[in-house]
Amino acid sequence: MYIWIWVTIAAALSQSLRTAQQKNLQPVLGNLGASFVRFSYAIPFAWAWIIFYSIIFDVELPELNLLFFFWVTIAGLTQIVFTVLLITLFSHRSFAAGTAFSKTEVLQAAIFEAIILGHIVNFKLGFAIILGVIAVFLLSLAKSKLTFKNLLNSLFTKQAALGLGSGAFLGFCTVAYRAATDSLGNGDLVMNASITGGISVLIQTIIMGAWMIRYANNELILTFKHWRGSSLVGLFGAITTACWFYAFSANAVAPVRALGQIELVIALLISILFFKEKPTIKEITAIFLLILSIVLVVIYN
């Protein structure tokens, strides 16, 4: 009955492990190489899952269409940008703080919805968004004194731009992936979502691989030399995708998204235990404020 809870926690854990392994590979592969393995090494695992699910549960592959390819391509491109921005952010901030910045996508989505669609937020949702903005400011000022001048300056730092940019692209690619999945019709939800993920990593590998052949050939070669560590990224990525897809099909999206923010707590623990990073009191406070803000946004949205 409550299996979706454990699956969601598994998704958050595997996602944190995937991102941690990418951070671990960053000094060896570079920002682009560590981002590329997220897609290229996920291909065999993603398609092994699709074949397994199709055979075991006797589910046919959905019929693809032009609208699907449009949205999955848009989603794939924006996810590439998000991944590169996030990996680059780890060069400037701790693992926990970088992960927290990317999670502002929930807050930004609510703001974009109000601006673009004219959906005016209620008082409770507005309070949750403001709380999230304060948390982001605290993250930006983690290494500085909390003054009004530093607060303004923090809005124009490279770290803030990378963090908020990664969150924005993550939010947009999530919407695009949903549109791609919905375009496949009323078939099996898990299969539709899995095919979307499988096609996406193929497109992403081709596009990013072709770009790296021209502009970052050395980093591309390194991804093949360090295939063992890169394979872990692909494995954890496939597990993450499968778990998220199951959770979203087994329960309403809102509570799954809320519970999924446990990834920030996991990221904080990984940051301290494995990367030996020492988050400041402000960073820890900001991360937990951001968790509270995101959960409230999901509840009141």
| Alpha helices (runs of H) in the chain, residue ranges in sequence order | 3-40, 43-56, 66-89, 95-102, 105-117, 123-140, 148-154, 158-182, 189-215, 217-225, 227-250, 253-260, 262-273, 281-300
- CA triple 200-83-6, angle to 5 deg: 75
Dihedral sign for Cα atoms in the order 136, 137, 140, 142: negative
pLDDT for residue 10 is more than 80: yes
Which residue do the tokens 């492990």 mark? Answer: 17
pLDDT band at residue 257 under the 50/70/90 scheme: low
Extract the tokens encoding 114: 């109000």
Distances from the Cα of 3 to the Cα of 190, 243, 257, angstroms: 16, 11, 15
Whether the full predicted model's pTM is greater than 0.75, yes or no, is yes
Reported as a single tens digit per residue, the pLDDT across 141-186 is: 655 565 666 656 666 677 778 888 888 888 788 778 878 888 898 7
| 94: pLDDT strictly greater than 90 | no
Per-domain boundaries in the chain: 3-300
The mean predicted confidence, pLDDT, of the chain is 83
**pLDDT tens, position by position, 190-249:** 898 889 989 999 999 999 999 999 999 999 999 999 999 999 999 998 888 778 777 766
**Token digits for 280?**
């400041």
